[in-house]
Amino acid sequence: MLLSREVLRSDDVAEVDGNRTRQAEMLGLTGFEDRGDHQVPRHLHGTPYPRTLRHARRPTAYLRWRWGMTAGVDTIRLTQFAHGGGCACKIPPGELEEMVRGLTGVVDADLLVGLDEGDDAAAVRISDGLAVLATADFFTPVVDDAYDWGRIAAANALSDIYAMGGRPVLAVNLLGWPRDVLPLELAAEVLRGGLDVARLAGCPVAGGHSIDDPEPKYGMAVTGVADPGRLLRNDAGRAGLPLSLTKPLGVGVLNNRHKATGEVFPEAVASMVALNDVASRDALARGVTAATDVTGFGLLGHLYKLARASGVTAVVDAAAVPYLDGARASFAQGFVPGGSRRNLDWVRPQLDTTVPLDELLLLADAQTSGGLLVAGEIPGATVIGELVPRGEHVMRVR
């Protein structure tokens, strides 16, 4: 079977240009659509990859962990097939807010969380004591290893549910794949990674949707459930509460370095694939009402949204913020995602600070599958600041 844990054999895969339905069946993805009617742009045709991977039938077996890092005698680096990587390829927050300004949907009293404050997921009350949460998240490769990319993307999508105080109950895959450029075996490894992380979360994956895309993209749409009276929201912060961060920053600069050099940072991968489930449960157990996860808009961007929505000022102690090993050194060598600069540009008018620009850029580092930012204290999290009554600025960094 293609989804066996140990070995992926090309003899088990349908021909690259063969029947798509057969491929979907072999992936075990019931209901997984594939509408690959458009073609890869001409400039991508002929993109080099090992000749041995151009044909589905060959005797060589590849262990799961080798995909994306080593294929045959050559290397396929997935990050080189995309213009950006991970949550750093998000549309800049300022542009996004302008885009959706004035858009309103159906007014419904049971819609508890919608577009207003930029929360991590939508929430609708179904009955007393039950709310359904809905979110979708996908991005281009953030690492070269296909299996790890799948795991990271799944953890990132599931995090939106945890950031709202919910429990994921169903996920569907979202896949874009340049099928004339990259082998389908790699796509299977991406899906396998997502499936394994969803299994750890106790969340079934039931199909999804795929398209033929010039760039590889992967993520999930996730449905969750929560108590409507105990949601974690952007607008529920109160002055006097500490601010806690559950994962160190720095994956943005490390991923940028990985894309440029091919160096692998296992600590960054481990951080990105780690679920935020325990932190979410701990927050609820301690009566926390305000939280968000730290992803593409960086710590400063997501904190700005929370403080703005809550009508308070957020104060950050820059020296207290934790970073992954190698993050500062990588930043000093110039590995700074463009998304990080755009994040800082967005919040700068509402920021009061005397710390150096380099420190601010690190605080705005575009994260992928980052930790929870909680208005309160929970076990294992680092207190990095506090919420105070609203002053002249929405944020202060000291």
List Cβ neighbours of 228 (8 Å cut-off, separation of 6 or more): 112, 123, 125, 129, 130, 131
List Cβ neighbours of 342 (8 Å cut-off, separation of 6 or more): 92, 93, 94
pTM of the model: 0.80
Print burial letters for 72-106: b (CB count within 10 Å at least 16), e (below 16): eeeebbbbebbebbbbbbbebbeeeeeeeeeeeee
pLDDT tens for the chain, residues 1 to 398: 233 333 333 333 332 233 333 333 333 443 343 333 333 333 333 333 332 333 332 222 233 333 444 343 247 899 999 876 555 566 766 677 677 777 776 778 888 887 776 677 899 999 999 999 999 999 999 999 999 999 999 999 999 999 999 999 999 999 999 999 999 999 999 999 999 999 999 999 999 999 999 999 999 999 999 999 999 999 999 999 999 999 999 999 999 999 999 999 999 999 999 999 999 999 999 999 999 999 999 999 999 999 999 999 999 999 999 999 999 999 999 999 888 999 999 999 999 999 999 999 999 999 999 999 999 999 999 999 999 999 999 999 99
Q: What are phi and psi of 322, to 5 degrees?
A: -85, 150
Print burial letters for 360-395: b (CB count within 10 Å at least 16), e (below 16): bbbbbbbbbbbbbbbbbbbeebeebbbbeeeeebbb
Amino acid at position 63, single letter? L
Catalytic residues: 87
Q: What is the largest CA-CA distance in the chain?
A: 67
Q: Which residues are registered as beta bridge partners of 136?
A: 221
Give tens-digit pLDDT for 104-159: 767 788 888 877 766 778 999 999 999 999 999 999 999 999 999 999 999 999 99
| Sign of the alpha-carbon dihedral angle for 167, 171, 176, 180 | positive
- Catalogue all structural domains in the chain, each as residue range(s) with its CATH number: 7-226 (3.30.1330.10), 232-397 (3.90.650.10)
Q: Are 165 and 391 in contact (CB under 8 A)?
A: no
